[in-house]
Amino acid sequence: MAKINYRDRARKHVAEARARLAETGEAAARQACLALRMAIEALTYQNLQAYLAETPNSVMAQWTPKKVMDELLAADPHADQTATVFIGIETTPGVPSDDMQFLGEDRRFTQKWGNKAHNALGSFLHEPTIRQTETGKATEADARLKAAEIADELDRILETSLFAVNMGEFISFECVCGFHVKRRSSVLSHDDQVICGGCGRHWIYKKLEGDPAYGFVPDGYSFPCLECGETCQFEAHELGEGKVVTCAGCGAKAEVFTQFAVRQVRAELAGADDAGKIQT
């Protein structure tokens, strides 16, 4: 997959916002806020591109910074933190070099800041509510002040030449679709589900005894054929409304679907208030 130059797009959005702020009028202020929201989104997508092998493919359809960052932080708890990078040659393997050279800073805004800034800018893109009008909030002056503040922070992030740094100790494998899936070892536990970022297949991570020390097995479901009793199987990512499975033994077809059901909860297992709750 070709990388998109989101960093350049972010710079252009900030430049557009500053040009609009130099103009007068309410419309120009709104346009500045819109451009800065797009800059925040572009920087979020830039960081996402460095983590595509570690995230499910569904994250590429997300557009709000918060939802994208939720996925990134699940992959790497430090994904929204600024990183200072040094490099040096180890004279003794495993012992840090005595001559570490500064490479630069990968500056990032935190999820909290990005979500707050994105929402604040969005509040100026709508007609003020009656309450906002009565209290004097969400005015053009407020929009310009907030936009200038956010533009300054985005310029600070964009002025560095180092970006999209993603280092760690990884466990990786190649999915049957050919996509290279990787997860950092610090977030993987036995029986964790891993979703391929290429095709969406589900895999289960297994810690093993011996060599190799780990493996990934396909996640799936099975049921006895309603005609002959033979075991029918299908992969977890195929589960959906109207999934039809053909028995390999007799050729009978069965439809797999989900449903809600209600069942009585025995009093000795739960309080009376719990009886009749919907189960899945």
Residue 54: how many CB atoms within 10 A of its CB? 24
Confirm if 203 and 188 have CB atoms less than 8 A apart: no
Q: How confident is the model at residue 77 (pLDDT cuts 50, 70, 90)?
A: very high
The enclosing H or E element of 235 equals strand 231-235
Asked if pLDDT for residue 64 goes beyond 80, the answer is yes
pLDDT tens, position by position, 161-178: 899 999 989 999 999 999
Confirm if 250 and 230 have CB atoms less than 8 A apart: yes
Q: Which residue has the higher pLDDT, 262 or 110?
A: 110
In this predicted structure, what is the pLDDT of residue 262? 86
Give dist(CA 129, CA 137) in Å, integer. 9
pTM of the model: 0.78
Instruction: Determine if residue 117 is left, alpha or beta; phi over 0 gives left, psi from -120 to 50 gives alpha, anything else beta.
Output: alpha
177 contact partners, CB below 8 Å, separation of at least 6? 196, 198, 199, 201
In this predicted structure, what is the pLDDT of residue 270? 56
The percentage of the chain sitting over the pLDDT mark of 70, rounded to a whole number, equals 95
Give dist(CA 202, CA 114) in Å, integer. 30
- Chain CA centroid to CA 143, Å: 29
Give me the residues paired with residue 231 across strands.
224
pLDDT tens, position by position, 32-48: 999 999 999 999 999 99
104 contact partners, CB below 8 Å, separation of at least 6? 84, 85, 160, 161, 162
DSSP 95: S
pLDDT tens, position by position, 178-233: 999 999 998 899 999 999 988 899 999 999 888 888 999 999 999 999 999 999 99
**Mean pLDDT for the chain?**
89
- Chain CA centroid to CA 83, Å: 19
- Reduced to 3 states (helix: H, G, I; strand: E, B; else coil), residue 56 is coil
